[in-house]
A = this chain, B = another copy of it.
Amino acid sequence: MLDRDRCLALDAEDPLREFREEFVLPEGVIYLVGNSLGALPRHAPERLRRAVEDEWGGQLVGGWNSAGWYDQPLTLGDRIAPLIGAGPGQVVVGNTTSIAIHQAVSAAARLRPGRKVVVSDARNFPTDHYMVQGLAESLGYEVRDVSEGRFDDVAAVLLSEVDYRTGERQDVPEVTARVQAAGALMIWDVCHSVGAMPVDVSAADFAVGCTYKYLNGGPGSPAFLYVNPRHQADAVNVLSGWYGHADPFAFEAGYRPAQGIRRFAVSTPHVLSFAALDAALDVWERVPLHLLRAKSVALGELFAGLVGDALEPASPADPERRGSHVAFRHPDGYPVMRALIDRGVHGDFRAPDILRFGLAPLYLRYVDVYDAARTLLEVLDKELWRDEKYARRLAVT
C-alpha cells in the first residue's frame, strides 16, 4: 500500500499537475464531486464578466453578430467534438441532456419506421428512462430493458458509457457493433465519461452528454448532441425550432431543415451559460486524454486499495471496466457521507445505499485521494456517522 509521502512524490511528477492551478478549489475541502459539478476554471469569472458587461451591456443586440453568440451552438460543438472522437460539424451544443435524448430517440425512431421498441437500461441515469418513457407513451412505442438482450425489432438503444452510480464502464465498440448488427440504432449517453477519459462515439448513431461534470462548464451548462454524418441528411429533428431552419432569418412560414448538424439546433442559446462553458473548453484544448485516463485509473486504484474491505464495493474491481468514480455500498450511506463532508471530504450519496467518489483527474492530487480515504476509514472505524446530526435529509443530496 502506498503511503502519504509516496503520494506527494506522485503528485510532484504528475504530468497533469499544472492543470490544478487552473481551477478554484475551496480551502479545506477535498472535492470528490467533480463528476456531479466540476470546479470553477480560474479564468471563467473574467469570461463571464466580459459576456455580461462588454457583450450584453456594451453591444446589446449587436452581440449576436459581433460577440459570436449566434454561432455558439456550432462553435462550441466543434470544440467538444475532439473529446468524444467526433469531427467538426458533428456536434451541436444547447438545451439539456434530457432534451437531447428526446431529439436523438425521436430521430432514431423515424429512421427505423417499422420498429416500435426503444431499449433503455435500468442502470441509466433516471432522466434517460423518463425521457424515453414520455416519448414512447406519446408515440405508442414499447420500452424494453437492455437486460432482455433482444434488439432485432428495436429502433434505438440508449445506454450510458459509464454507470452514474457504480462507475461501471461499457465496452462501447463491442456494444455498438452488436446493436447495429441487429439493425437498431445506437445512442450513447457519455455524461459520466466525457472529460474523464478518451471517449469515441464515432461508430455510434447518436450521442448525448452534459458539460457540467468533468468538463467544468458550470452549474446547468448546456448539453451536447452528436449526430453521425451518415444520418445528418435524413434524420428529423422533432424539436424543429427556428435555429435549425435552413434560413432562420428569412422568416419563412414553413420549416425547412438546415443541412448538416445545424438542423439539430432548436432555438436561441443561453448565452451566459455558453460563455462559462466556452471558458472551460479553453482548458480542454490542452489536455492529453490518454494521460488523463492513466491518472484516473491510478487514482481509482489508490482509493479502492486504501478502502480495502472496509466497505462493500459497488464498482467493478477491474479499472478497465470502471469510469472515473468509485462507489461503495453502505446501508447507512447517507449519514456516512454527511459525516465525511463534515470533515472536509465531499463525495455524494445516491439512493438507496451508494457512496460515490468522483476522481476528476484534471485537478485532483494523489495526496487528496490518500487523505480522503484515510478520513473515510476513520469515520467508519469510529462510527462517527452515528451522530444524530447526520441523519436529517437535505433537499438535494
Task: Using CB atoms and an 8 Å cutoff, list the residues of chain A in contact with chain B.
Answer: 24, 26, 29, 31, 33, 36-37, 39-40, 44-45, 48-49, 52-53, 55-58, 60-65, 69-70, 95-99, 102, 106, 110, 122, 125-127, 129-131, 133-135, 137-139, 165, 210, 212, 218-222, 236-245, 248-255, 266-276, 346, 348, 350-351, 394-397
Contact A268 B212 (CB under 8 A): yes
Residues of B within 8 A of A250 (CB): 351
9 closest A-B pairs (Cβ-Cβ)? A134-B240, A219-B271, A98-B241, A127-B242, A98-B267, A40-B57, A130-B255, A96-B267, A270-B273
Q: Which of B52, B99, B242, B346 contacts A266 (CB 8 A)?
A: B99
Contact B44 A52 (CB under 8 A): yes
A63 to chain B: closest residue by CB: B219
Residues of B within 8 A of A129 (CB): 253-255
Q: Which of B40, B57, B131, B241 contacts A241 (CB 8 A)?
A: B131
How many monomers of this protein are in the complex?
Answer: 2
- Most chain B beta carbons < 10 A, residue from A39, A70, A249, A250: A249
A106 to chain B: closest residue by CB: B138
Complex Cα spacing A346 to B59, Å: 11
A40 to chain B: closest residue by CB: B57
Q: Which of B40, B56, B63, B133 contacts A52 (CB 8 A)?
A: B40
Residues of B within 8 A of A61 (CB): 33, 36-37, 346, 348
- Most chain B beta carbons < 10 A, residue from A37, A102, A250, A350: A37
Complex Cα spacing A139 to B138, Å: 8
Residues of B within 8 A of A126 (CB): 242, 245, 248, 251-253
A97 to chain B: closest residue by CB: B267
Residues of B within 8 A of A60 (CB): 26, 29, 31, 33, 37, 39-40, 346
Q: Which of B49, B95, B254 contacts A45 (CB 8 A)?
A: B49
Contact A134 B273 (CB under 8 A): no
With A53-B40, A269-B220, A272-B272 known to touch, is A134 a contact of B24 (CB < 8 Å)? no
